[in-house]
Amino acid sequence: MARLDERSFAAFYERTKRAVWSYVYRVTGHSADADDIVQEAFCRLIGADIAADDEEGLRRYVFKIASNLMADRWRRAAREASWLDRLRGGNDTYVDAAYDDTVSREFAALAPRDRALLWLAYVEGDNHQEIADALGLARGSVKVLLFRARAKLKRLLTTAGVVARVL
């Protein structure tokens, strides 16, 4: 199995970095976190034992690494949450003003897993198996979880007046 050489990695990075960063940013809501996670994901990709000639496989793999890194951060943050954060509810999501609009605000209000599901399905165009692999879910649960995430986003957008109520 051929590993990524420096030139192949650089070319793959240039083709893929923006999509991975956008995914991580929309899920986390923090550009600094997105920068850190994307950097770490690509660093881990360098050492991975994966075929360099499988562009789609590399793309899926770097998204999976990024998803795992986000999950690690959420778990670590939950463990490290202070008593004050717990009293306040501490689940405020920040969206940079430069990217902010009503849809972004409502999208940011979703749980991180819901944001990840929707982003991978509708922005990246991943199928259920690819989403399951990236997020560490059972393939059969992706359809149900996506349905619920879409319903939550629709409720939020309807409440915000972005989507008209359906009779």
Looking at residue 162, the DSSP 8-state letter turns out to be: S
- pTM of the shown model: 0.61
Q: How far apart are CA 64 and CA 47, in angstroms?
A: 15
In this prediction, residue 87 carries a pLDDT of 52
Helix (H, G, I), strand (E, B) or coil at 137: coil
Per residue in 21-73, pLDDT (tens digit) is: 999 998 888 899 999 999 999 999 987 777 777 888 899 999 999 998 988 88
Per residue in 105-163, pLDDT (tens digit) is: 788 888 888 988 998 888 888 899 988 888 888 999 999 999 999 999 999 888 887 76
Q: How far apart are CA 23 and CA 27, in angstroms?
A: 6
Q: What is the CATH number of domain 6-159?
A: 1.20.140.160
Confidence band of 78 (pLDDT split at 50, 70, 90): low
In this prediction, residue 4 carries a pLDDT of 75
Which candidate, 81, 101, 103, places its Cα nearest to that of 92? Answer: 81
CA distances from 123 to 7, 23, 110, 161 (A): 28, 8, 16, 23
- Give the CA count within 13 Å in the CB-facing half-sphere of 87: 3
